[in-house]
Structure 1
Amino acid sequence: MPGKTPSGPAKTTGPALLAGGNPQIAKAFGDAPVQAYIAAMPSWKSEVGLRLDTLITRAIPGVRKAVKWNSPLYGVEGQGWFLGIHCGAKYVKVAFFRGMSLHPVPPGASRSKDTRYFHIHEGEQIDEAQFAAWVEQASRLPGERI
């Protein structure tokens, strides 16, 4: 019969997961969409996302947050975005948009001449002091206007 729905238990769903388990979150500004992204990160990645968000927020009080292109972005008002997070299949990728200007330079190369990546794999410990130093340095550089 047209319009009839199948019977059975209601299925609760969160955001769709894209390639590599990256959550599909609508473009929006503020902490709420970033927290929704973190909550939707699969498995161990959600804990990493929460830790990164905590470290970034602690290092840069009042940091600007948004989700664009299914990735949380962090920036400074009037300066653009300095960092983005993305779920890969086997790691969480942190993109420092002006990473070549950081000391030391984050280890992951990029096709972009300025961007450097920092990958976090399951079970790896984050050098929190080094990460915070990168965040602080990155926040003082001109950001991306994306």
Structure 2
Amino acid sequence: MAEQKLLSGGNPQIAKGDGDAPVQAYIAALPDWKSDVGRRLDALIEGAVPGVRKAVKWNSPLYGVEEKTWFLSLHAFAKYIKVAFFRGAALDPLPPVGSKQKDVRYFHVHEDEPLDEAQFIDWVKQASQLPGERM
């Protein structure tokens, strides 16, 4: 596989596309520890939402249930992976990081912090039941 260009903060530049293949290309191109975390997050999302739809747009993997609507995205930054829950303000408990957009909440995954997988799976399941964001 050709080496992917990394954008600022270490986010891979991946051509947009629908399905699992572009998401896996994005995850494989993540630098350092982020690739392993990306694989784990992807596996947890797949396990929580059987048949989840995937795509890459704007250099970010998107996850959804219905066609062309999305409930979650991933994006790599220099020191963390940002998980965006597009209807995160409706989740209980709220994901910890707020947004300028009233409905969006974020969860940041850092290298040296353990991932609370049970909480993450619960958020993913809740988010997948809410109306998706059209993009």
Q: How far does the alpha carbon of each residue in 1:38-83 deviate from its partner, in whole angstroms, 9 at most, with x for none?
A: 0000000001100000000000010000000000000002471000
Alignment counterpart, residue 61 of structure 1, candidates 27, 31, 50: 50
* Structure 2 unaligned residues grouped into runs of 5+: none
Residue 95 of structure 2 corresponds to residue 127 of structure 1: no
CA contact (8 A) 2:66 2:132 kept: no
Query: 1:123: Cα distance to partner?
Result: 1.8
Q: Which residue does 2:81 correspond to in 1?
A: 92
Q: Which residue does 2:106 correspond to in 1?
A: 117
CA contact (8 A) 2:63 2:70 kept: yes
The higher radius of gyration belongs to: 1
CA distance in 2, matches of 1:35, 1:54: 11
SS at match of 1:48: helix
Identity %: 69
Structure 1 residue ranges, 4+ long, deviating more than 2 angstroms after superposition: none
Q: Compared with structure 1, are the counterparts of its residues 79 and 27 closer, same or farther at alpha carbon in structure 2 (3 Å cutoff)? A: closer
Residue 89 of structure 2 corresponds to residue 81 of structure 1: no
Q: Which residue does 2:22 correspond to in 1?
A: 33
Which moves more between the two structures, 120-129 or 32-41?
120-129
CA distance in 2, matches of 1:60, 1:13: 31
CA contact (8 A) 1:79 1:142 kept: no
SS at match of 1:74: strand
CA distance in 2, matches of 1:120, 1:78: 27
TM-score between both structures, scaled by the size of structure 1: 0.90
Q: Which residue does 1:102 correspond to in 2?
A: 91
Q: Which residue does 1:9 correspond to in 2?
A: none
Residue 36 of structure 2 corresponds to residue 44 of structure 1: no
* Structure 1 unaligned residues grouped into runs of 5+: 1-11
| Total equivalences in the alignment | 135
TM-score between both structures, scaled by the size of structure 2: 0.97
Q: Compared with structure 1, are the counterparts of its residues 128 and 144 closer, same or farther at alpha carbon in structure 2 (3 Å cutoff)? A: same
Q: How far does the alpha carbon of each residue in 1:74-101 deviate from its partner, in whole angstroms, 9 at most, with x for none?
A: 0002471000000011100000000000
